[in-house]
Amino acid sequence: MINITSFETLDKAIKLAGGEPTVLEALWDGDTSGWYLYLNLHVIIKKLFSIKKEVRYLGTISLGGDIRLFNGTVPPWPEAELAKEWGKMANEKYGLIFYFPSDKEPDNNCPGWEQRHLAIQCADCAKMIIPTDSPYLSKEICYSCHLKREFNNKIKNAEPYDDGVNLFMVKDEEYNHLGYSSFLDGFSMAPFIDDTVQSRREKRLVDIVTIDELDISIIKEKIEQALDEKVAVYKSAEFPPDFPEKFKSNIKRHTVEYKGNKYELIERLNEEHSKIDGLVWALEMVDKAISGNYCFKIYFKNGFTYRDDAVLRFVNFVSNGSTSLAAIVQQYSGILTETEVQDTVTKMEKAGCLIIEGEIVQTTDVTRKLL
């Protein structure tokens, strides 16, 4: 598989394809490592007594990396930006048509150049799509619009949404953000603080739990115990004999030190290594807290809905922390009524997340630590 990494590689592939290029098409496909674009070139081959149309596969544009999860905001797709830029250059150089039916986000239901006549326009975003044959999806819209509609329904129906926990190391007014996780158990120190945390939760809309000096020294002991057990059975990671050579350089390794010994760990792919890594990190944070007289503070939501979350995010991120009530109503028109927006804002004011002064709605310090 040729990886198209620049206009030069694309240009070379076009020349190698032979014939007269007429259409360059960019289509999405996905595998376990994420979405990528593949490029086909439609060419006309002229021989003495015949003219033939052929399609040549040129290669892929793939930046790899993690699967970017849909979270209700549109993620940037740098692959699409590159394809658009190079497609334009190919158009200028060869006079060919650049065909890219989904240039804003990945979609593998778009018609190829030769299936255009089978396509319909997505009712929401007007993109050309081949109607899905899934009985669970609407036929008239594309998959990304389906996800958007689903997300908007969650806002409309005020479905519960308490995901999102933030951990800070705190001294007086100094807050150091240590991490975000959907749930508490995403933190490597979770098993050692869970009981304490649960017993201190007050189940208010916003729960802020403090883990103080005394707790931290107990946690330190527990983490060390767990680490002692893990490093006692530590094994360095060797590649299995059939591991493909070309992927070896993708595997990142780093070394951690614990009680004077060094351990080489590989990232992500080895569960035992990840646990050691997480525990070493937790121990480091705990040591920092002890030597610097910090405590830990953990921010939880409790009884939030998608609607609350969406309104807070709109005020905090989209509007930089301050906007008018009318602007929020406008943002959610068609999804929420004015009364629903008003109720949400009032609920978030009670939670300490918003301040309302006349028409102006502002986020608070709590919101910035909660989201």
Q: Which residues bind Zn ion (CB under 5 A)?
A: 122, 124-125, 127, 142, 145
Q: How far is the CB of 150 from Zn ion (least distance, A)?
A: 13
Minimum CB distance to Zn ion smaller for 115 or for 182: 115
Minimum CB distance to Zn ion smaller for 335 or for 371: 335
Q: How far is the CB of 129 from Zn ion (least distance, A)?
A: 7
Minimum CB distance to Zn ion smaller for 129 or for 170: 129
Q: How far is the CB of 97 from Zn ion (least distance, A)?
A: 22
CA atoms within 13 A on the CB side of 108: 10
Residue type for position 265: L
DSSP result, 64-96: --SPPPP-SSPPP-HHHHHHHHHHHHHHHHH-P
Minimum CB distance to Zn ion smaller for 122 or for 289: 122
Minimum CB distance to Zn ion smaller for 122 or for 370: 122
Q: Which two tokens stand for residue 269?
A: 């792919």
Q: How far is the CB of 81 from Zn ion (least distance, A)?
A: 19
Residue in 11, 23, 27 with CA at minimum distance from that of residue 101: 27
Under 8 Å CB-to-CB from 21, ≥6 apart: which residues?
14, 41, 42, 43, 90, 94, 96
Cα separations (Å) of 121 from 28, 41, 109, 136, 291? 17, 24, 12, 19, 62
Q: How far is the CB of 158 from Zn ion (least distance, A)?
A: 25
Q: How far is the CB of 144 from Zn ion (least distance, A)?
A: 6
- In angstroms, the CA 166 to CA 299 distance is 5
- With tokens 């916003």, the residue in question is 206
